[in-house]
A and B are shown apart, each in its own frame.
Chain A
Amino acid sequence: MRTVSISFTLNGRPVTREVSSNQILVDLIRRQERLLGTKVSCDQSVCGACTVLVNGEPRSACAVFSFEIDNCDVLTIEGLGDGDNLSEVQNAFLDNSAFQCGYCTSGMIMLITALLKQEPDPNEATIRSWLGANICRCTGYQMIIEAVQSAARAQS
């Protein structure tokens, strides 16, 4: 297997890595970097659990080759905020209990972070449409939608 050298920023930190040419981004993130907050579920780019931001765009990390992120900016849940410094979206998830099992949560938070960057004040139809990219089997979505609305208010 060929290896390629790629340089990118991961959660704000510039890194250079040797990766095999068939490596998937989520394996780079989880196995090589040991950033375990990004989850894998369907592994076929259907469920969105592995959503990360590549240059600010939500991408299923299970469906991106590592070499594709050469010179890109990659953001995972670990780069968004920690216990002392939560993002507005994380705060809104906490306040609204917009999660249950937590397995879709990292991906949902990344997706919504991108949504609010593109549309700071989305209406409910826009939110429903965006969230349609990711599956949550636990909540029935309504409490996540309310968290998006509350994050949007907090950001404005």
Chain B
Amino acid sequence: MTDDKFRTIGKHHPRYDGMDKITGVARYAVDVEIPGMLHAKVLRSPHAHARVLNIDTTKANALPGVCHVATRSDFEGMQPVYGWLIKDQPVLAIDKVRYVGDMIAAVAAEDEATAYRALDLIEVEYEPLQAVPSIEASLADDAPALFEEPQIGFVNRYGTGASAVKEPRKNVCYQFNYKTNDSDVFDGCDHVFEDCFNFSRMQHFFLEPYVAVAQWEGDQVQVWSATQSPFLNRKELSRIFQHPEEKININVFYVGGGFGAKTGCKTEPLAVLLARKTGRPVRLAFTTQEQLLTNTQHAATLILRTGVMNDGTLIARQSEILLNSGAYSDASPLVAEKVGYRIPGSYRWHHIDTKVQCVLTTQVPAGAFRGFGGTQAAWASESQIDMIARRLKMDPYDLRVKNLKNLGEAFVPGESTIDSDLKLGLDLVCEKLNYRNRSRVRGHGMGLSVVLKDGGGVNKAAHAVVKATTNGGIIVNSATIELGQGAHTALTSLVAEVLNCKWEKVTFAPVTTNSTPWEQGTFASSSTTIMGRAVMEAAEQVKQKVLAFAAQDLDCAPEDLSLVDWSIRKGNESFPLGPMIMKHFGGPGFEFTGHGYYKPQVPGDHSAPLETPVDFWEIGWGGAEVEVDEQTGQVRVLKLIVSSDFGRMIHEAACRGQDEGGAMMGLGQALFETIHYDGDVPINSTPLTYRVPLSTDLPDEFISISQEQGQGRGPFGSKGGGEGGILPIASAIANAVHDAVGVRITDLPMTPEKVLAALDRQKSTKK
């Protein structure tokens, strides 16, 4: 929406990071090299579950060029465990290893080749234990416990209807419940449908590896890291090393993709430890193979019991969700909250009852991944809605529209209201898909999906500082990390709009935690709405200070003045600010500084189930047209449509890129992308064998529709984006497959084998 009242918002201009990235001058943590820097490599467990009896580093230590071999014995007097709510993941294995790939020792050496050679010389004596490489195996009565003792951690505070229990049973690290008070309504339903769905796990497969460089300068620790969450990581490092936060300075440059995975500590604790032990700067970079063994999305089993009336009115939904957390809890408790809270989807209900358990298994730990529980909820919910429509002989579109929440309706009691017209978006997708005129030829089908998730995070707060130099250069000091999502571009536009200057005048200060104002982290699609309001407030303060200064100089009221390209406009006269500032402050000039802060309002009664009301609702609409080859089981996506509502687009191309990137991830999830385990062992955790979508996987037609419904509570009516695009894709494709050949695939990914098996079952039932 190009709007003439704006100068920068919504106008076409290159991205802030564009010139750096197209010329190769953009710097990343991976590029950091410090004189005297050592290189570190990690020894990983070949066992899925084993007791670590002995680690002998004698031979490795003796290898020329090796400076230190770190093991569990290096952490005496520290708290060498980390995690979001529950701190159960050791920096290096302590008593046991719990998955293939678990870190057991690390070598710092003069070069990488020496470090690799030293890894081969470390002798570890294991006592193998029974592995539990699946949810089912882990919950079996006779399964071994991954942890014998309760782990350090706490339960979040919740509002009405929500509750949680830490470690409710063996191998379950967290349980989240959400319930409204009307369970009797199931009795009045015409039908109650129970269906089970399996969600497979992807790896983030960002391209810049996990990497950190650490250096001790006296008691000051310097860290350069590819992270989305410098302040969270600083807090973890402070606790692990019992070292004050102000003495740990984390520096972040551009980050080469994260998709959630670069939230929380990964390489930092080991790099800091090895730097302390050696007195030298240490660089620890993981290979792609190690990246695949570090963190993933949550696989899940979701059982939905949904009560409906004959006319398609949805009444109640009870869900039981098991998340495969892998070996450590990581972000699982928070993902559990979100998958549970998002299971109602886009519809109106009389009753919701959700139970989510985070099941520890001997697999790669699962953590934050684009969609954060929303993708799992969407897969089950939007598949089942479609199945119910077909069982009731209704068009899936009609059943959806009958039950969609209205614009302005509360999501659940005590929660903020829906800020998009859900039907309007669905109709846009249907129109592009030509859904109403779809062919009824077998083998050819269309599917829809409409998904919503709460955006903006929980208790998210942000500070920002904006400075204006003597000649009107604008420096933004914000901890929002540019991961590729275009946050710097959006924030640039907001600041330029407030200060009425060209976007080219805006520069970002490097992120360095000792001087960058605090914020929680770059996640939850929150940069435009939360940090956006903080930088706008900071810019507004600068503007007010400048106007007050000029008013004094020009002997008038600030209200009589306006700011245009670092000149003061007073009626028809224009006064350049540079000379005015020099005249007043003398030769050194001056800077005007503004401080901004934003946190969504917390209601006094804390009635919102997740404690703070949702800042905005991120919506993903999807439509797919497929052709199913009944001889091979191959699903070919002829047309894929993705749509989000950005409220108002601050930068159109950045918004579009988020939807399309998310949708292609969703396509991979739908059709082929997953981590495969053969028993206890991951079998495709290498770059060659782990398959991500390529340009050759693009659907014949790929369309994104970036909506601007103008209802957002963020800057200029905006809402956050970035996660909406992935949410509806897998279910839209499954629904299209059902439409095409009448079989329902409930397990991701929808490989030809599964489709063929379903077709065979269909044939044998018909006989």
Which residue from B23, B26, B207 sits with its C-beta under 8 Å from A47? B207
- A42 close to B698 (CB less than 8 A): no
Residues of B within 8 A of A118 (CB): none
Asked if A103 contacts B687 (CB within 8 A), the reply is no
Q: Tell me the nearest residue of chain A to B668, going by C-beta.
A: A137
Q: A105 vs B371: C-alpha distance in the bound complex, in angstroms?
A: 25
Interface string of B13-52 (1 = CB under 8 A from A): 0110111111111111011000000000000000000000
Q: Are B23 and A143 in contact (CB under 8 A)?
A: no
Give chain B residues whose Cβ lies under 8 Å from the Cβ of A154: none
Among A40, A97, A109, A139, the most chain B Cβ lie within 10 Å of the Cβ of A97
Nearest chain B CB to A7 CB, angstrom units: 24
Tell me the residues in window 696-729 of chain B with beta carbons closer than 8 Å to chain A beta carbons: 696, 698, 702, 704
Interface residues of B in 52-104 (CB under 8 A from A): none
Bound-complex Cα distance A132 to B698 (A): 10
A9 on the interface (CB 8 Å rule)?
A: no
**A96 CA to B259 CA, complexed, in Å:** 22
Cα–Cα, bound, A19→B654 (Å):
43
| B656 close to A (CB within 8 Å) | yes
**With the chains together, A122 CA to B692 CA distance in Å?**
25
Q: How far is the CA of A86 from the CA of B206 in the complex (A)?
A: 27
State whether the Cβ of A46 lies closer than 8 Å to any Cβ in chain B.
yes
Q: Find chain A residues with CB under 8 A from B208 CB.
A: 39, 41, 101, 103
Bound Cα distance A32, B579 (Å): 47
* Interface residue ranges of A7-49 to B (CB < 8 Å): 35-44, 46-47, 49
In the bound complex, residues from chain B placing their C-beta under 8 Å from that of A114 are none
Contacts of B155 in A (CB 8 A): none
Q: Are A129 and B22 in contact (CB under 8 A)?
A: no
Contacts known (A97-B654, A102-B20, A140-B664); A37 close to B257, Cβ less than 8 A:
no
Q: Report A113 CB to chain B, min CB distance, Å.
A: 12
Which of the 9-residue segments B480-488, B535-543, B600-608, B733-741 touches chain A? B480-488
A 60-76 binary contact with B (CB < 8 Å = 1; else 0): 00000000000000001
Contacting residues, chain B, for A81 (C-beta < 8 A):
23
- Which residues of A, 68-96, contact B by the 8 Å Cβ criterion? 76-78, 80-83, 86, 90, 93-96
Verify if B653 is at the interface (C-beta below 8 Å from A): yes
Given contacts A41-B208, A42-B288, contact A102 B17 (CB under 8 A): yes
Contact of A83 among B23, B257, B483 (CB under 8 A): B23
The answer to whether A152 has its CB under 8 Å from any CB of chain B is no
| CB-based nearest B residue for A90 | B22
A101 touches B255 (CB 8 A): yes
In contact, B254 and A101 (Cβ under 8 angstroms): yes
Q: Tell me, in angstroms, the Cα distance from A97 to B17 when the chains sit together.
A: 10
Residue of B with least CB distance to A132: B696
Measured CB to CB, the closest approach of chain A to B556, in angstroms, equals: 42
Nearest A residue to B25, CB-CB: A37
A90 touches B653 (CB 8 A): no
> Residue on A with the closest CB to B686?
A44
Report chain A residues within 8 Å CB of B664: 139-141
Considering the chains assembled together, what is the distance between the CA atoms of A83 and B27 in angstroms? Answer: 16
Chain B nearest Cβ from A66, distance in angstroms? 15
Determine whether B660 belongs to the interface, using a CB cutoff of 8 Å to chain A.
yes
Give the number of chain A interface residues (Cβ < 8 Å): 51
Q: Which of B19, B654, B663, B696 contacts A129 (CB 8 A)?
A: B696
The chain B residue sitting closest to A49, CB to CB, is: B207
Q: In the complex the two chains form, is B257's CB within 8 Å of A143's CB?
A: no
- Name the contact of A46 in the complex, choosing from B25, B484, B653, B687 (C-beta under 8 A): B687
Residue of B nearest to A99 (CB): B21
Q: Does B199 reach chain A (CB closer than 8 Å)?
A: no
- A104 interfacial by beta-carbon distance below 8 Å: yes
Please report which residues of chain A, range 110-152, place their CB below 8 angstroms from some CB of chain B when the two chains form the complex. 127-129, 131-132, 135, 137-145
Partner of B696, one of A83, A128, A143: A128
Bound complex: CA A35 to CA B23 (Å) = 11
- Asked if B24 and A86 sit within 8 Å, CB to CB, the answer is no
The answer to whether the Cβ of B441 comes within 8 Å of any Cβ in the partner chain is: no
Judge if B764 is at the interface, Cβ distance under 8 Å: no
**Given A43, A100, A129, A140, which contacts B288 in the complex, CB threshold below 8 Å?**
A43
Select which of A128, A138, A142 is within 8 A of B257 by beta carbon: A138
Q: Report whether A41 and B207 are in contact in the complex, using a CB–CB cutoff of 8 Å.
A: yes
Q: Is B10 an interface position by the 8 A CB rule?
A: no
Instruction: Please name the residue on chain A nearest to B694 by beta carbon.
Output: A132
Tell me, rounded to whole Å, the shortest Cβ–Cβ distance linking A41 to chain B. 4
Instruction: Pick from A37, A137, A141, A144: contact of B24, CB below 8 A.
Output: A37
B609 at the interface (CB under 8 A from A): no
**A44 and B688 in contact, given A99-B18, A132-B696 (Cβ under 8 angstroms):** yes
Partner of B31, one of A36, A43, A106: A36
The smallest beta-carbon distance between A29 and chain B, in angstroms, is: 11
Q: Hey, which chain B residues are within 8 Å of A99, CB to CB?
A: 15, 18, 21-22, 484
Cβ-defined contact, B653 with A96, below 8 A: yes
Q: A94–B14 contact, CB under 8 A?
A: yes
Contact with A along B737-751 (1 / 0, CB 8 A): 000000000000000
Point out the residue from A41, A93, A96, A101 that lies within 8 Å of B483, measured CB to CB: A101
Asked whether, in the complex, the Cβ of A39 is within 8 Å of the Cβ of B30, the reply is yes
- The complex places the Cα of A129 from the Cα of B24 at a distance, in Å, of 24
A78 to B30: give the CA distance in the assembly, Å. 18
Interface centre among B21, B204, B486, B702 (most CB of A within 10 A): B21
A-B contact pairs, 19 of them (CB 8 A): A37-B24, A42-B288, A47-B288, A77-B24, A83-B19, A86-B23, A93-B18, A99-B484, A101-B255, A102-B21, A103-B256, A128-B695, A129-B695, A137-B665, A138-B257, A141-B660, A141-B695, A142-B660, A143-B657
Q: Which 8 A-B pairs have the closest CB atoms?
A: A37-B24, A101-B484, A103-B256, A100-B484, A102-B21, A140-B660, A97-B653, A77-B24
A43-B288, A93-B18 given; 20 more Cβ-contact pairs under 8 Å: A35-B24, A37-B26, A43-B687, A46-B688, A78-B24, A83-B19, A94-B14, A97-B18, A97-B654, A99-B18, A101-B256, A101-B257, A102-B17, A103-B484, A131-B696, A135-B205, A137-B204, A137-B259, A140-B657, A140-B698
